[in-house]
Amino acid sequence: MKLTLLRMLSLSTLLAFAGSAQAFAQYGQQEKVAYINAYLQKGDKVDLMRELKLKQALKAGEELMALKVEASSYYKANLVLKHNGQKFDAQKVGAYSSYVEFQAPPSLYPQDKLVLVSKGEINVTKVTAYMKPAYDPYPPRGGQSGVLKAQVKQQVYAKEVFSVKQLVKQYTGKRLNGLEVKKVIIKASSTSYYGQATAQLKVNGQLVGFPQYLSQQVTRVAFDIPHYMPKVMGQGLNSIKVVVKGDAFVKMVGLKTKEQSSPGGYQNAYQFMVNKTFYGSERVSLTELFPYNAPRVDVYSPVEVLTVEAKGAGNVMITGGGRVLGTITVAGRFGTNQTVRVSGVASVKDIKLRVTGKVTIKSIRMKMGY
């Protein structure tokens, strides 16, 4: 049956990035929210790939972990989650507005179809997708380790070679030269009923170590760069690949890296505990929120990313460089953790925060650009 929706408000999709509620804390701190505001009759569908812009997110390497739907029904009705036309999950919707939760399909691709189907008369207010980011937007501080990942989600038949360095660079957008590689990581499983599937590391065109057998369950396999080979990308380490043989499903590839420490200078990322409560309408500069024991910060350096952790009820408008950089809505029992991309248009010294309502800013985190 074709979708016949009686809109109570605009169908425009609002994408919001926030800290997950307690029940979804394990899925990371990124949400996509689509305000549907629609009355569904039996057989009506909501195209989640379109409403939540999941196709773009999956192409960027994000991973759908769970869904939460705010809905109500005058009579007992069911919402069914279908993946490529097949029923994946179903939940009952009660008479009062409430949240129902759906687990996400384990393998979701950008070209897939993901829809909610109404089995009865249901008011759907909004749908929240809990996403796992493709990578941490804050690289590790100098000398510290971090893992850079690329979501692959690819079925392999017979043999496939994965260029890990190229995939990670494509999905994270991070400059890799100068990073020391500690381990090469792959998450994969064997899908062969009769034979076996293996994964083996290939460095600078040379196969190294022994092939690792993949189990029937998705597992993490880590490879070490041999001690006799270069380990710093761009300084002798030019190519990192994983060769998969047999029938297998590759979920993710990644690099555990260590940034080279710089003697002196400033850090690239900072996090401060603030714990300051604002009432009514107040304006404060970013530097005023720094604690007395904060590390040395170059206040004239451009800010790339700013994350605000807050609780209460209200808004935090962030300005700088003569423009509004973003507005964070603070609501809910568990608070909010949202990121604003400044993209270097304002320095630390230029950024101001306009806080309205009763809001407690718990912490500030920022990534710098030089």
> Which pLDDT band, with edges at 50, 70 and 90, does 58 fall under?
confident
Q: Is 6 exposed, middle or buried (0-12, 13-18, 19+ CB in 10 A)?
A: exposed
Query: Do 242 and 283 share a domain, yes or no?
Result: no
pLDDT at 366: 86
pLDDT at 293: 61
CA–CA gap between residue 359 and residue 370 (Å, rounded): 32
pLDDT at 152: 86
Establish if 140 belongs to a structural domain. Answer: no
Establish if 33 belongs to a structural domain. Answer: yes
Q: Among 105, 132, 159, where does a domain finish?
A: 132
Kindly state the percentage of the chain with pLDDT values over 90.
Answer: 34
Indicate the pTM of the whole model. Answer: 0.40
CA–CA gap between residue 73 and residue 122 (Å, rounded): 5
Which residues fall within 8 angstroms of residue 53, CB to CB, at 6 or more apart?
13, 15, 32
Which residues fall within 8 angstroms of residue 120, CB to CB, at 6 or more apart?
42, 73, 75, 76, 77, 78, 93
Which of 121-154 are b and which e, b meaning 16 or more Cβ less than 10 Å from the residue's Cβ? ebbbbbbbbbbbbbbbbbbbebeeebebbbbbbb
User: How many CB atoms neighbour CB 156 within 10 A?
Assistant: 23
pLDDT at 186: 94
Which residues fall within 8 angstroms of residue 49, CB to CB, at 6 or more apart?
55, 112, 113, 114, 115
Query: Do 244 and 347 share a domain, yes or no?
Result: no
Are the CB atoms for 250 and 348 separated by under 8 Å? no
CA–CA gap between residue 277 and residue 362 (Å, rounded): 9
Q: Mean pLDDT: which of 23-27, 194-198, 347-351 is highest?
A: 347-351
Q: Mean pLDDT: which of 4-13, 64-73, 146-155, 279-288 is highest?
A: 279-288
One-character DSSP codes across 61-90 = T-EEEEEEEEEE-SS-EEEEEEETTEEEEE
Query: Do 154 and 252 share a domain, yes or no?
Result: yes
> Which pLDDT band, with edges at 50, 70 and 90, does 56 fall under?
confident
Stretch 256-265: mean pLDDT, rounded?
A: 58
pLDDT at 194: 78
> Which pLDDT band, with edges at 50, 70 and 90, does 23 fall under?
very low
CA–CA gap between residue 244 and residue 160 (Å, rounded): 5
Query: Do 41 and 74 share a domain, yes or no?
Result: yes
pLDDT at 137: 44
Are the CB atoms for 328 and 17 separated by under 8 Å? no
Establish if 156 belongs to a structural domain. Answer: yes
Indicate whether 218 pLDDT > 90: no
* Mean pLDDT, the chain, whole residue set: 81
Establish if 264 belongs to a structural domain. Answer: no
Are the CB atoms for 239 and 205 separated by under 8 Å? yes
> Which pLDDT band, with edges at 50, 70 and 90, does 245 fall under?
very high
Instruction: Report the CATH number that the domain containing residue 113 is assigned in CATH.
Output: 2.60.120
350-369 pLDDT per residue, tens: 999 999 999 999 888 888 76
Query: Do 104 and 206 share a domain, yes or no?
Result: no
How many structural domains compose the chain?
3
pLDDT at 370: 53
Establish if 179 belongs to a structural domain. Answer: yes
Indicate whether 42 pLDDT > 70: yes
Kindly state the percentage of the chain with pLDDT values over 70.
Answer: 82
Residue 92: closest CA among 80, 82, 78, 81: 78
261-304 pLDDT per residue, tens: 444 444 567 777 788 899 999 999 999 998 766 667 778 788 88
140-187 pLDDT per residue, tens: 444 445 788 888 888 999 999 999 998 988 877 777 877 889 899 999
Establish if 38 belongs to a structural domain. Answer: yes
DSSP class of residue 137 equals S
Query: Do 249 and 276 share a domain, yes or no?
Result: no
Query: Do 159 and 128 share a domain, yes or no?
Result: no
Indicate whether 315 pLDDT > 90: yes
Q: Among 259, 291, 306, where does a domain finish?
A: 259
Measured at the CA of 294, the angle between CA 28 and CA 347, to 5 degrees, comes to: 75
Q: Hey, what are 337's tokens?
A: 């953790």
Instruction: Report the CATH number that the domain containing residue 172 is assigned in CATH.
Output: 2.60.120.10
Domain residue limits at 192 = 145-259
Establish if 137 belongs to a structural domain. Answer: no
Residue 187: closest CA among 176, 196, 179, 199: 199
Stretch 212-231: mean pLDDT, rounded?
A: 87
Query: Do 120 and 16 share a domain, yes or no?
Result: yes
CA–CA gap between residue 331 and residue 315 (Å, rounded): 9
Query: Do 183 and 253 share a domain, yes or no?
Result: yes
Query: Do 36 and 124 share a domain, yes or no?
Result: yes
Are the CB atoms for 134 and 224 separated by under 8 Å? no
87-124 pLDDT per residue, tens: 888 888 877 767 888 878 867 777 889 999 999 999 99
Determine which of 134-138, 198-202, 283-287, 327-331 has the lowest per-residue pLDDT on average: 134-138
pLDDT at 246: 93
Q: Among 259, 283, 301, where does a domain finish?
A: 259
Query: Do 228 and 296 share a domain, yes or no?
Result: no
Indicate whether 22 pLDDT > 70: no
Establish if 223 belongs to a structural domain. Answer: yes
Query: Do 215 and 236 share a domain, yes or no?
Result: yes
Which residues fall within 8 angstroms of residue 220, CB to CB, at 6 or more apart?
185, 186, 187
